[in-house]
Structure 1
């Protein structure tokens, strides 16, 4: 392994993922602490209602928003390597226009639909007004453009600062609410304020970095990216793929809430919060891997070697995390959330397969995007999502929340299998 570290791209991958890892480690601890405090303060049912309200907004954001940061990395990142700042500015302006358009449109649609479909997902009529108010976060939620700017400019350190800041604030405010015996509305307000503050801070960091480098001038919002060939095609494919990815997070929780009630959604969220932590190494590496690989020539061995080395690193960290969760999961749930949440542990035993799948799959979409095949991840996600929705209802009715977790794993497994097949086919074509 010593010769791996002679590769500048591998060192850069480790450095940037290291920044994100430090941030995510803090955020993970703060996030689990926040969920534990809210769970104890609200009880299983109201905690599940909080999860459903926040998941509805995140699902609406995921379904409506373009993952515009990928546009900036795909076009702007390559342009910066050759010193072409104009293309970087054009990609940033296009991404910003997409964020504004999709954010406002998504907010209006989500608010108008909520009174009609809220009951489908288990959202109580008493709290519809809170859910509608929470949806006003959609124009800023996700902060895709500033993340793309900072990743393209190789400022992962700034992203890590933002990523660890607002979870800590949320944990502190939740602890204060718990100590003062705050009600349900108090916890929703805490989620709202910290989400908004975190997103606005990300925009500020990107603006400040652009100003420091003298690159603000010339960035104009536009929906006609004439300098970026194939940008609309790329954006649409990435948007559709990210919409399907949303099915594995907030949409899955909403579906569980609709099928099994707020209590089921709460237990599913507790279980997924712990298993997601085991997938963090792969997730962090994927975010640092994409900006790195778009700068490389995929006809050479270097990007493929980088992919394999990154997978090896993710495997080591993720398998270690999986073993820890399996050993201490049950007492940890009892300690943090209370005995009424102990039913989440059998769900963990099923969901824990998902991080192992993430080890294999984390570099695959990035490689396919770099190969100008944005349709390939979309196809894989579509197949996996269809399989998830086909199986989730019968499995949930038969086995409860464990059945929903099993459907989640089946869908993820199908996605990974299709991604592996597609990338292997592209590898043979490119290397030939």
Structure 2
């Protein structure tokens, strides 16, 4: 069996693990959103979404992509069982996450102060948002998630996700039965964040101990603050800017819609986007699985195999995308109504437009890891920066003009620009000779 076939089989197996977890999570999400909306009403549920979006935005803005740094620089030491080097790399990544958590807390508190004033929130809602901002430092499981990906313990990721989703479902179910208020649901959401963080931390530490006999102590984290491998900080900075801008745009978009149209419309926009993202979720599981495999192929200098594998996955996703668009066209509005037990005009259209955006984002999934290992991380960062900066004023303009439909148009158009520019760069980079690729990757 060829190494490329072996990599393809591992990708399929790992994607299957992650997909099963996401299916369980999606089922639970269907239930706990329905419980929350019916218990709180659309307006109060909108406040829950906006408060959660502020917390996620704070976490996302402060995240340094430690999991990518761990895989990029830790793959070779892990393969040859160089525990000392791997220990130092882990210490570096944990320090990145500690800095991220401090940044998340500061950004979260400042964001609540500013947004609550702009949106004219009551003191009660503002107080709940401040309280929820305290869990923002625990919303990122960077290095621990990276350990599970590096060691191919992908089955533990859906285990953690499923346990957290079940916890949130049970919690919201209790709130629905007992007719509890927004304060209770904020506590449930915060508890789910802390549970998820604790599970990933436990799984990562146990995996390091059981798989390679490596234990991480405080001295590994708080000593050798200046230690880093050549290019480690530059790689971390570039991947962080690229991933952060991509992840935060959705949450900022929800907040913008909420400030312009109110919490109820923000809830509709967020749920339509969530339904669209949920439809493409199984295929999106390729992203965390594909990158480690491409790193291994890069380390073997198997450039031709790396390109063939990426483009096979890309064309497979093109075929899947057509089917997903048909699902949204026929069932989108029914999914929304069944999920919330309310009818809102235009939801089928909104979900269809948002699914176009999600499908375009999906087609970028195999392109970004390819560009990363081909040494195009600088392009990814610059490209993402300009497109994201253009998205926010476009969102404000189109939302003010066409309400929720305008918000969907702005999101879909931005995804289209992102897809076309990255597809063009991936094609041109793939045509470069291997010697030029090695030079760029090592730059």
The residue correspondences of 1:140-159 to structure 2 (distance < 5 A) are: 140-159=138-157
Partner of 1:23: 21
Structure 2 residues without counterparts, runs of 5 or longer: 436-443
Cα gap change, 1:233 to 1:121, in 2 (>3 Å):
farther
8 Å CA contact 2:328–2:348 kept in 1: the answer is: no
Give the match's secondary structure for 1:240.
helix
The aligned residue for residue 289 of structure 2 is 288
1:133-174, CA deviations, whole angstroms, 9 ceiling, x for partnerless residues?
111112221211100011001100111211211012111211
Structure 1 pair 97/176, CA: closer, same or farther in 2 (3 Å)?
same
- Residues 35 and 172 of structure 2 are in contact (CA less than 8 Å); yes or no, is this contact kept in structure 1? yes
Q: Look up the match of 1:180.
A: 178
C-alpha separation in 1, matches of 2:122 and 2:134: 19
2:212 maps to 1:241: no
Instruction: Give the root-mean-square deviation of aligned CA atoms.
Output: 2.2
Per-residue Cα deviation, 1:328-356 (whole angstroms, up to 9, x for no partner): 22222222212244543321121110232
Please name the residue that 2:306 is paired with: 303
Aligned to 2:274: 273
**1:9-28 deviation line (CA, Å, top 9, x unaligned):** 00011111111011111111
Where does residue 410 of structure 2 map in the other structure? 407
Q: 1:196 to 1:41 in 2, by over 3 A?
A: same
Which 10-residue stretch deviates more, 10-19 or 346-355? 346-355
Q: Distance in 2 between matches of 1:355 and 1:192?
A: 27
> Counterparts of 1:197 and 1:224 in 2: how far apart (Å)?
29
The structure 2 residue matched to 1:14, chosen from 5, 8, 12, is 12
Deviation at 1:122, TM superposition (A): 6.4
Q: Does 1:111 align with 2:109?
A: yes
Give unpaired runs (5+ residues) of structure 1: none
Which residue of the partner structure matches residue 90 of structure 2? 92
Give 1:284 deviation, angstroms.
0.1
Report how far residue 292 of structure 1 moved.
Answer: 0.7
When the two structures are aligned, how many residues end up with a matched partner? Answer: 430
Match of 2:169 among 161, 168, 171: 171
Tell me, yes or no, if the aligned pair for 2:22 and 2:282 is still in contact at 8 Å.
Answer: no
Contact 1:237 1:375 in 2 (8 A): yes
Written as runs of structure 1 = structure 2, the 5 A alignment for 1:351-370 is: 351-370=354-373
2:209 match = 211
Which string of whole-angstrom CA distances, capped at 9 and with x for unpartnered residues, describes residues 385-411 of structure 1? 122113111110111011011111111
| Secondary structure of residue in 2 paired with 1:352 | helix
Matched position secondary structure for 2:427: helix
Q: Of 363, 376, 390, which aligns to 2:393?
A: 390
| Cα 1:228–1:47 shift into 2, 3 Å | same
Against the structure 1 CA distance between its residues 293 and 254, is the aligned structure 2 distance closer, same or farther, given a 3 Å change threshold?
Answer: same
Greater CA deviation, 373-382 or 398-407?
A: 373-382
Give the SS at the match of 2:262: helix
Q: Which stretch has the larger CA shift, 120-129 or 171-180?
A: 120-129
Deviates most, 299-308 or 192-201: 299-308
Moved more, 77-86 or 94-103: 77-86
User: Which sits farther off after the overlay, 128-137 or 317-326?
Assistant: 317-326
User: Is residue 72–residue 95 contact of structure 1 (8 Å, CA) maintained in 2?
Assistant: yes
Contact map agreement 1:78 1:294 (CA 8 A) in 2: no
Tell me, in whole angstroms, the C-alpha distance in 2 between the residues paired with 1:343 and 1:46.
21
Give the SS at the match of 2:296.
coil
Query: Which has the higher mean CA deviation after the structures are superposed, 219-228 or 180-189?
Result: 219-228
Q: Distance in 2 between matches of 1:123 and 1:11?
A: 52
1:62 to 2:60 alignment: yes
Paired with 1:349 and 1:239, the residues of 2 have a C-alpha distance of 30
Please, which of 72, 77, 102 is the counterpart of residue 74 of structure 1? Answer: 72
Give the match for residue 426 of structure 1: 429
Q: What secondary structure does 2:220 align onto?
A: coil
- How many angstroms does 1:66 deviate by? 0.8
Partner Cα separation in structure 1 for residue 146 and residue 4 of structure 2: 27
**Could you tell me the TM-score, scaled by structure 1's length?**
0.93
- In the alignment, the residues of structure 1 paired with residue 381 and residue 4 of structure 2 have an alpha-carbon distance, to the nearest angstrom, of 35
- Tell me: CA distance 1:330–1:340, structure 2 relative to 1, closer, same or farther (3 Å): closer
